[in-house]
Amino acid sequence: MQIVNAWVEKIGLDSLNYGTHTMRSTKATLIYKRTKNLRAIHLVLGHTKLDSTVR
């Protein structure tokens, strides 16, 4: 987490608005927009239930 905060601050952004969870969610959203493959997102995020991925 400290590494991410340092990178975010280094490029001039507020580290309170960006973190590992934000990056994880953003990556999943970008993959879904490109592929429309919910199962792929389910696997990437490591969720046990597809319902968790849908949320």
Classified as helix, coil or strand, 47 is: coil
Residue 14: CB partners within 8 Å, gap ≥ 6?
A: 8
Of 24, 22, 31, nearest to 45 by C-alpha is: 24
Query: Quick one: pLDDT at residue 20?
Result: 83
Confirm whether pTM is higher than 0.75.
Answer: no
Question: pLDDT tens, 1-55?
Answer: 788 889 889 999 888 888 888 888 888 899 999 999 999 899 988 988 888 888 7
Classified as helix, coil or strand, 20 is: helix
